[in-house]
Amino acid sequence: MESALRFSAEHGYLSASDMAVWEDYVAHGALRWVPVVHVRRNGDEQTYTGEPLLSHRAALHAAESMCDSLGGEWSGVRRMAERGAA
């Protein structure tokens, strides 16, 4: 499977970040996704994060909801590897 993923990444079917996610999963056994929102008010900038979630889609949805409620400029997710998880 790893060979297939590397082939896909080399030929443009996966991005470098997709491959990095796979490598984190192989190395650590579990990934969580952290919702992130960037807010700018009165010249001040602040970044807020939510609780880590198992699903990338759920984290994106949470980030979008947080962005709407906080009046954020942008939202996204970042991955977090769980060390020692199986």
Indicate the pLDDT class of residue 18, thresholds 50, 70 and 90: confident
Give the domain ranges of the chain.
2-81
Identify the pLDDT of residue 31.
79
DSSP 16-53: HHHHHHHHHHHHHS-EEEEEEEEEEETTEEEEEE---B
Identify the pLDDT of residue 4.
73
Check pLDDT > 50 for residue 86: no
CA distance 30 to 55: 11
Identify the pLDDT of residue 54.
85
Identify the pLDDT of residue 66.
96
Residues 19-63 have pLDDT tens digits of 777 777 777 777 788 999 999 988 899 999 999 998 889 999 999
Tell me which of 86 and 53 has the higher pLDDT.
Answer: 53
